[in-house]
Amino acid sequence: MAASIMSARQALRLTSRVRYFSSTAARQAAEVKRLGVIGAGQMGLGIALVAAQKAQVPVTLVDSSQASLDKGLAFAEKLLAKDVSKQRISQEQADAARALLQPTTSIDDLSPVDFVIEAVPEIPELKFDIFSKLAQICPKHAILATNTSSIPITRIAAATARANPTDTSNSSRVVSTHFMNPVPVQKGVEIISGLQTSPETLDTAIEFCKRLGKIPSVSADSPGFLANRILMPYINEAIICLETGVGDRDSIDAIMKNGTNVPMGPLQLADFIGLDTCLAIMKVLHTDTGDSKYRPSVLLRNMVDAGWLGKKSGKGFYDY
C-alpha cells in the first residue's frame, strides 16, 4: 500500500514537472522577440524567411560574406514574389516579411537576440568557433541552436565553454533544430538535445518550431540523428547501384519515384542536397559508428573530388 502511495506521489510530481516545462516552454517561445540566423545560404535564408513570415519576428541574418547576404536576400525576394503571384500572400505581407530580414556581416549584432540558429557548412571547427563566440555575445537567456545534420550536439554544446572552461552554464542552452530542405516547403524539423541540454531548452525549441509552422520530431544525440541515419544510407546505396551497374541513373530514380511515391529519386535528391554534404554525413556516420554499412560510395567520393557537387555546382548526377 505504502509503495503504491509512493508511486502515485512520484507520478504526480513527474506530471507536474512536465506541465511546468510545457507551460514555461510555451511562454518562452512566445517571448522570442528577435531571432538570429547565422549563414545566408539556402538553409539559413529559408529559416530566416519562414521566421519572418510565420512568427513575424525581426531576423538578424549574419554571414561573413556580403555577396552571400546579397544573393540570399535576392532569393528571398524572388520567393516572396512567387508567393504573391500565386496569391498565397498579399504584396503587403511580402513587404512586411522582407522588412523583417536585417542582414549583417558582424556576429556581434546578435547581442540582443532571444534565439539564434546556426546554419553554416558541416565543418566541426567552424561550428565550435561560432558557439564559443555566441556564448559570449548572446544574452544569458538566449537559446543557441544549430542546424547541424550530423555533428554531435554534445560536442557543439561543449564548445560554449572554450572561453571560460569553468563556466558550463551556457551549454545547457544549446540544442539542435535541424530543418528539412527546402525550409519554406518542408514541414519537418528534427529537435536534438545534447547531454548538457536542459529540459526547458528542449521544450522551448519544440514550441518555437511549432510557432514557425513546423512539425517537430525529437531525436537522441546519436550519429546521423533520425533523418540522416535513415536517408543517407538510402542515397549511398542508390549511388552504389549506379556505380556497380545494377541500374542506370534514370531507372534508379524512376523506380523509387514511381514505386514509393516520393517526389524525386535518390540521385536527384542527392544533387539537391549537395554531394559534398552527402559525403560529409556518410563520413560522420561511418567514423562515429564504426559500421561498414555506412562506408561512402567510391563514386560519391570521386564526384566530390571532381567538383561535381550537384545543383549548386551545375553538375552532379544530372546537369543543371
Mean pLDDT of 269-276: 95
- Render pLDDT for 149-165 as a digit per residue (tens, 0 to 9): 889 999 999 999 886 77
- Split at pLDDT 50, 70, 90, the class of 27 is confident
Q: What is the pLDDT of residue 22?
A: 58
CA nearest 157: which of 141, 179, 173? 173
Handedness of CA 102, 105, 108, 113 (dihedral sign): positive
- Split at pLDDT 50, 70, 90, the class of 169 is confident
Residue 125 has φ and ψ, to the nearest 5°, of -65, -35
Neighbours of 43 (CB within 10 A): 22
Burial class (CB in 10 A: 0-12, 13-18, 19+), 280: buried
Does the structure show a pLDDT above 90 at 166? no
Between residues 149 and 78, which one has the greater pLDDT? 78
* 42 carries a ligand binding annotation: yes
Does the structure show a pLDDT above 70 at 6? no
Does the structure show a pLDDT above 50 at 33? yes
Does the structure show a pLDDT above 90 at 276? yes
* 158 carries a ligand binding annotation: no
Q: What is the pLDDT of residue 12?
A: 39
Does the structure show a pLDDT above 50 at 4? no
Between residues 13 and 32, which one has the greater pLDDT? 32
> Which cell numbers hold the place of 235?
542515397
Share of the chain above pLDDT 70, in %: 92
* 282 carries a ligand binding annotation: no
DSSP strands (E only) in 57-182: 59-62, 101-104, 115-118, 143-146, 174-179
Between residues 52 and 181, which one has the greater pLDDT? 52
* 122 carries a ligand binding annotation: yes
* 140 carries a ligand binding annotation: no
* 181 carries a ligand binding annotation: yes
Active-site positions read: 149, 178, 190, 228
Does the structure show a pLDDT above 80 at 25? no
pTM of the model: 0.84
* 33 carries a ligand binding annotation: no
* Whether 200 contacts 206, CB under 8 Å: no
Does the structure show a pLDDT above 60 at 125? yes
- Render pLDDT for 231-264 as a digit per residue (tens, 0 to 9): 999 999 999 999 999 999 999 999 999 999 999 9
* Whether 90 contacts 84, CB under 8 Å: yes
Q: What is the pLDDT of residue 8?
A: 42
Q: Cα–Cα distances in Å, from 58 out to 46, 81, 189, 319?
A: 14, 20, 21, 38
